[in-house]
Amino acid sequence: MDLDPRYLEVFFTVCQEGGFGRAATAMHRTQPAISYQIRMLERQLGTQLVERGQRRFLLTPEGKRLREFCERFFGEFGRLATSFAEGVPTSEEPLHIAAVSGFGRYVLFPLLSEPRFSGLRYSLRFPTVEEVFQSLETGRCDLGVVYVPRVSRLLRVEPLRREELVLIAPPGFEAPAQALQSVKAYESLPFVTYDECEYVFGRWFDVLFGKQPATLRDVCHFEELEEVLSTVALGRGVSVVPDHVAAQAVQQGRLKVLRPTRRRVTNAMYGVMRAGAAPHPGAERLIDALRERRASARAGTRRPR
C-alpha cells in the first residue's frame, strides 16, 4: 500500500481543530485543498473517515481509529524529536513526569532524590489533572500521576498508593469536638484554599458527613500548598490537605490534625501511561518503588499477633 504520510498530518489537524475550515486556517491552506487531501487519504486507505452531509464534524468508526493512531504516532514522534534536539542518546532518554502538585512535591521528588535513582535523568512538572492527561495524549510526558483516573483504552492506569485527607489547623486552634461533628459548623470557619482543592474538600466532606457545607468562607487562596501550610500555621484559617503534605509541619509542631470522627478519609493516587507506547524503564522503576513503599506501610500498620 503506497501511503503519503503528509495526509496523516492534515487528517490529524482536522481532528484537532474540529473541522475543515479551522484546519485550513491553522495550516495556512485553502479549505478545498484540505478536503482534497482527506479524500486522497480515504482513497489510499479504502475507507471513509469523515461523515459527509453532516452539519458538524463527525468521524466514522474508521476515522476514530485513525485519529487514535495519529495521537500515538505524533506523540511518540514529538518525544523522539525532543530527544534528538537535546542530544540525548536513545538509551538514556530522560523520564518526563507530570504529577499533581501535592503528590509530586511531597512524595515523588523525595523518592527521586534517593541514591537508587541517582542515574536517572528526569523532568518533573506539577500541572493540573487535565493538563496531565493532555501531556500524556500529546506525548510530552511518559508518566502522569493523578487522583482521578480516566477510563480509556488508550491509557494504562496503575494504582500507586492511598493517601489520607486531613483537616489541618494551627496549634492553638480550639473547638469542641462535638461542634466539628456537624457540617453546619464548618460554614463559619475560615478556610485557606488552593488550586484544585475542590476535589479534596468535596471528598472530605462527602465521606465524613455525606453532604457539603452550604457555603465555605475562604480567607486566602494560593496556587501551591507551601503557602497554605504557612498561612494555616499563622492562625489565618484551616484547610484540608493530603496527609503527606502536612506530615513534616505536624511533626515540627507548626500544625495539628483535627479528626472530627473516627472515620478516616482516604483517596487513591494513580500512575497513568499511554497504552500504545513502550513503557519508559524509569517509569517502571518508579512505580515499583512506590509499590514497595505501599507494601512497607501496610506491613508497618499490622498489629503483631
Q: What is the CATH number of the domain that holds 128?
A: 3.40.190.10
Same domain, yes or no: 262 and 230: yes
pLDDT band, very low/low/confident/very high, at 303 (cuts 50, 70, 90) = very low
In a domain, 1, yes or no: no
Distance in angstroms (rounded) separating the CA atoms of residues 161 and 266:
10
What is the pLDDT confidence band of residue 300, given thresholds at 50, 70 and 90?
low
**Domain check: are 235 and 188 in the same one?**
yes
Is 0.85 topped by the overall pTM? no
142 pLDDT exceeds 50?
yes
Stretch 156-161: mean pLDDT, rounded? 88
Give the model's pLDDT for residue 305: 41
* Alpha carbon of residue 54 to chain centroid: 35
Are 212 and 205 within 8 A, CB to CB? yes
Say whether both 168 and 262 belong to one domain. yes
Enclosing H/E stretch for 158 = strand 155-169
Is 63 buried (19+), middle (13-18) or exposed (0-12) by CB count in 10 A?
buried
Provide mean pLDDT across the span 52-58.
Answer: 83
* Domain-located, residue 150: yes
Q: Are residues 150 and 290 in the same domain?
A: yes
The pLDDT-based confidence of 5 (bands split at 50, 70, 90) is confident
- Expressed as residue numbers, the domain containing 216 is 162-266
The residues, any chain, with a CB within 8 Å of residue 40's CB and separated by 6 or more, are: 4, 7
Residues 18, 51: one domain? yes
In a domain, 30, yes or no: yes
Out of 78-92, 194-208, 231-245, 265-279, least confident range: 78-92
243 shares its domain with 258: yes
Total tally of structural domains belonging to the chain: 3
247 shares a domain with 168:
yes
For 117-128, how does the pLDDT look when each residue is reduced to its tens digit (9 = 90+)? 988 889 999 988
CATH number of the domain encompassing residue 23: 1.10.10.10
Helix axes 243-251, 225-233, angle to 10 degrees: 40
pLDDT over 70, % of the chain: 92
**Pair (181, 209) in one structural domain:** yes
Domain annotation covers residue 98: yes
Judged by DSSP in three states, 246 sits in helix
